[in-house]
C-alpha cells in the first residue's frame, strides 16, 4: 500500500512521519536529526537550501534567510502582528498584490506559501530518500486557532510543493490521536500545545477510536520565540546604554543573542544555571570587538516567563468554559511543543489542571505521528471499504458570519461547532430596487465588523428589482473536514446564485498557486 506522510509544519522545526508495518516512524534526515529546522536560505544564482544547512546561514546571510515565517502565514500586510515583525526580522517583508505578506530575498519576491512549500518539499525528499519510493500524499497539521486564510495558505503550500494534501488537521487533535490510538480510552483529554510561535489548547472526548474535539482556543502569536525574546531583552539590559543601542541596531548581533538565548533556555531545562558567551557580539565606540558573557539562572528565567505562561492559562480558561468542564473532568493532559520541556511550564500546567501531565509522549514528535496515523487511516479508507481506522470529529475554532450595512456581523456558524458542517441564513435587501448585494464574510468573536477579520467578499448580481426587504438572499456556509470555508449566496425567488469558493481577502488566487507549483517551474 502506498505511503502517506504526516507532516508537522512548525514555526521553528518541522517533523515528518509515516506508518510503516503498522507502526509510526519519525523519519530522520541523512544526518540522523528527526527535527528539521523550518528555515529557508536563498543564495546567489537562485540556489535554495532548507533545514539545518539553512539554519547555519542565519548569522552569515540574515537578509536572505527566512525563519519563523509561519507566524505571518495568511495575515494581512497591514495587521499589527506583521508591523511588529517588520521591526525585528532581518529579512524584508513587502506587500503582495492581494494585501498578503511576501518576502524579498536575493532580488526576488516570494509568497509565504512558497516559503512553506520549500520546507514541505524538503521534508518530502527526506521521506522519499528514506523509504526508497515516491510519496505524494500527506496530512499537514496547523495550529487549532488558525483561521480560514491560514488553513487555505497551508493547503496551497502543499499544492505548490507537489503534494496531494488529504486533510489539514489541528495540531492538538493530531497529538491526542497519537496518544490515544489503541488505548481504548473513555475519557476527556486536554492537549496543551506551546510551540515555537503559537499556542493552542484543545479539549477532546475520546471514546475508543472516536476522537471528538469539544472545544479549542489559542493564540497564534505566542510561543517559544517570545520566551527567547524575553531572555534577549534581559541580556541586553545588562549592557551600558550606548552598547544596548549598538546591539539593537545590529541584526547579526541580535541573531547571535537570540541563538544564545535559545541555547540557554534549553540548558535550563536540566540545569539551574546557564552561561551565555557570545564572541565579538558588537564593536565599541573605538571599533573594537567586544565579547559578551553573562549567566542566567533558572529562577530568573522562571520569573520572566510567568507573564507568558499566564497568557496561556487565559486561553485554557476559555476552552474549559466552552467545553463546560472543570479540572475534575479531565482524565489526562498531553503536552506538545518544545517549550513544554521547560520545568516552569510543566509545573504550571500541572498546577492548573491539578494533574501530572502524561509522560512517555515526545512533545516534539507527537503531532507528526498523529498526522501520520490520520494519513494512513485516510489512505486505507480510499483503498478499501473498511473505512478509517480512527474517526476525528474536529471543530471550527472561531465564529463565522456575514457583515451587515450597520457595521455588525450576523453569525452563521458559532465557534466550536463540529466540522464538517453546513449552515445558512436568509438576508434581505436594504434599499429599494436593489439588484446587487455584496456578501462580506468575517471571522471572530466580536459582533462589530471593525473588530473582526474579513476573510473575503463576493457579489450576487442580477437580483429582480423590488422594494427593500422583499428580495430574500440565502447565504450558506460549508466547512470541510480540513476547516476550510466555502460560501454561496442564492436569490430565493429567481434561483440566481454566486460564489462557491470565497475570494480570500489575503492570500493567493487558485491560478497563482498553479503558476507557482514547483513541478511546473522545474524546482
Unique residue bearing C-alpha cell 527567547: 228
In the set 100, 114, 148, 171, the catalytic residue is: 171
Q: Is 40 exposed, middle or buried (0-12, 13-18, 19+ CB in 10 A)?
A: buried
The answer to whether residues 7 and 338 touch, using CB atoms and an 8 Å cutoff, is no
The Cα–Cα gap between 220 and 197 comes to: 7
Residue 267 grid cell: 540548558
The Cα–Cα gap between 523 and 518 comes to: 5
Active site annotation includes 364? no
The answer to whether residues 273 and 298 touch, using CB atoms and an 8 Å cutoff, is yes
Q: What CA–CA distances, in Å, run from 270 to 235, 296, 344?
A: 20, 13, 11
In the set 100, 114, 148, 193, the catalytic residue is: 193
The Cα–Cα gap between 508 and 262 comes to: 34
Closest CA to 316 of 168, 451, 172, 151: 172
DSSP three-state, residue 29:
coil
Q: Is 485 exposed, middle or buried (0-12, 13-18, 19+ CB in 10 A)?
A: buried
Closest CA to 473 of 503, 520, 435: 435
Active site annotation includes 70? yes
Closest CA to 364 of 275, 482, 269, 483: 269
The answer to whether residues 82 and 93 touch, using CB atoms and an 8 Å cutoff, is yes
Active site annotation includes 8? yes
CB neighbourhood size of 207 (10 A): 13
* Cα angle 265, 371, 221; round to 5: 45
The Cα–Cα gap between 48 and 494 comes to: 54
Unique residue bearing C-alpha cell 453569525: 411
The Cα–Cα gap between 208 and 149 comes to: 33
Residue 321 parent element (H or E) = helix 298-323
Number of residues assigned to the chain: 523
Active site annotation includes 193? yes
Instruction: Tell me the HSE value of 483 on the side-chain side, using a 13 A CA sphere.
Output: 35
- Catalytic residue numbers read 8, 70, 171, 193
Amino acid at each position: 500500500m502506498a505511503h502517506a506522510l504526516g507532516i508537522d509544519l512548525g514555526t521553528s522545526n518541522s517533523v515528518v512521519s509515516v506508518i510503516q508495518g503498522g507502526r509510526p516512524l519519525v523519519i530522520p534526515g541523512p544526518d540522523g536529526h528527526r527535527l528539521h529546522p523550518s528555515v529557508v536560505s536563498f543564495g546567489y544564482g537562485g540556489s535554495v537550501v532548507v533545514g539545518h544547512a539553512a539554519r547555519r546561514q542565519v548569522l552569515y546571510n540574515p537578509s536572505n534567510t527566512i525563519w519563523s515565517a509561519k507566524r505571518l502565514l495568511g495575515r494581512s500586510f497591514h495587521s499589527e502582528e506583521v508591523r511588529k515583525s517588520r521591526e525585528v526580522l532581518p529579512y524584508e517583508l513587502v506587500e503582495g498584490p492581494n494585501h498578503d505578506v511576501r518576502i524579498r530575498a536575493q532580488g526576488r519576491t516570494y509568497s509565504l506559501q512558497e516559503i512553506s512549500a520549500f520546507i514541505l518539499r524538503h521534508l518530502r525528499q527526506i521521506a522519499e530518500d528514506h523509504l526508497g519510493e515516491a510519496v505524494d500524499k500527506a496530512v499537514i497539521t496547523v495550529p487549532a486557532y488558525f483561521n480560514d486564510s491560514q488553513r487555505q495558505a497551508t493547503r496551497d503550500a502543499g499544492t505548490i510543493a507537489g503534494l496531494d494534501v488529504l486533510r489539514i488537521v489541528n495540531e492538538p487533535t493530531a497529538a491526542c490521536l497519537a496518544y490515544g490510538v489503541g488505548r481504548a480510552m473513555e475519557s476527556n483529554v486536554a492537549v496543551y500545545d506551546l510551540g515555537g510561535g503559537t499556542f493552542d489548547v484543545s479539549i477532546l472526548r475520546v471514546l475508543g477510536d472516536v476522537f471528538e474535539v469539544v472545544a479549542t482556543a489559542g493564540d497564534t502569536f505566542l510561543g517559544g520565540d517570545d520566551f527567547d525574546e524575553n531572555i534577549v531583552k534581559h541580556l541586553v539590559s545588562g549592557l551600558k546604554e550606548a552598547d544596548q543601542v549598538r546591539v539593537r541596531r545590529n541584526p547579526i548581533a541580535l541573531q547571535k543573542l537570540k541563538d544564545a538565548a535559545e541555547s540557554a533556555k534549553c540548558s535550563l531545562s536540566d540545569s539551574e544555571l546557564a552561561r551565555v558567551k557570545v564572541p565579538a557580539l558588537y564593536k565599541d565606540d573605538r571599533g573594537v570587538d567586544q565579547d559578551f558573557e553573562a549567566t542566567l539562572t533558572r529562577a530568573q528565567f522562571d520569573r520572566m516567563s510567568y507573564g507568558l505562561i499566564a497568557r496561556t492559562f487565559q486561553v485554557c480558561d476559555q476552552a474549559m468554559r466552552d467545553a463546560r468542564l472543570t479540572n475534575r473532568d479531565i482524565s489526562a493532559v498531553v503536552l506538545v511543543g518544545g517549550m513544554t520541556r521547560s520545568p516552569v511550564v510543566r509545573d504550571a500546567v500541572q498546577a492548573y489542571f491539578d494533574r501530572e501531565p502524561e509522560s512517555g509522549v515526545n512533545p516534539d514528535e507527537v503531532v507528526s505521528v498523529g498526522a501520520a496515523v490520520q494519513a494512513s487511516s485516510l489512505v486505507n479508507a480510499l483503498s478499501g471499504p473498511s473505512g478509517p481506522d480512527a474517526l476525528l470529529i474536529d471543530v471550527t475554532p472561531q465564529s463565522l458570519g456575514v457583515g451587515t450595512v450597520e457595521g455588525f456581523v450576523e453569525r452563521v456558524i458559532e465557534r466550536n461547532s463540529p466540522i464538517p458542517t453546513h449552515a445558512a441564513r436568509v438576508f434581505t435587501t436594504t434599499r429599494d430596487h436593489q439588484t446587487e448585494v455584496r456578501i462580506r464574510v468575517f471571522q471572530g468573536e466580536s459582533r462589530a465588523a471593525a473588530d473582526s477579520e474579513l476573510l473575503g467578499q463576493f457579489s450576487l448580481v442580477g437580483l429582480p428589482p423590488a422594494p427593500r426587504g422583499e428580495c430574500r438572499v440565502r447565504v450558506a456556509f460549508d466547512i470541510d473536514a480540513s476547516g476550510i470555508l466555502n460560501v454561496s449566496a442564492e436569490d430565493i425567488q429567481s434561483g440566481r446564485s454566486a460564489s462557491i469558493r470565497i475570494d480570500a481577502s489575503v492570500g493567493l488566487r487558485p491560478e497563482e498557486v498553479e503558476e507557482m507549483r514547483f513541478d511546473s517551474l522545474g524546482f
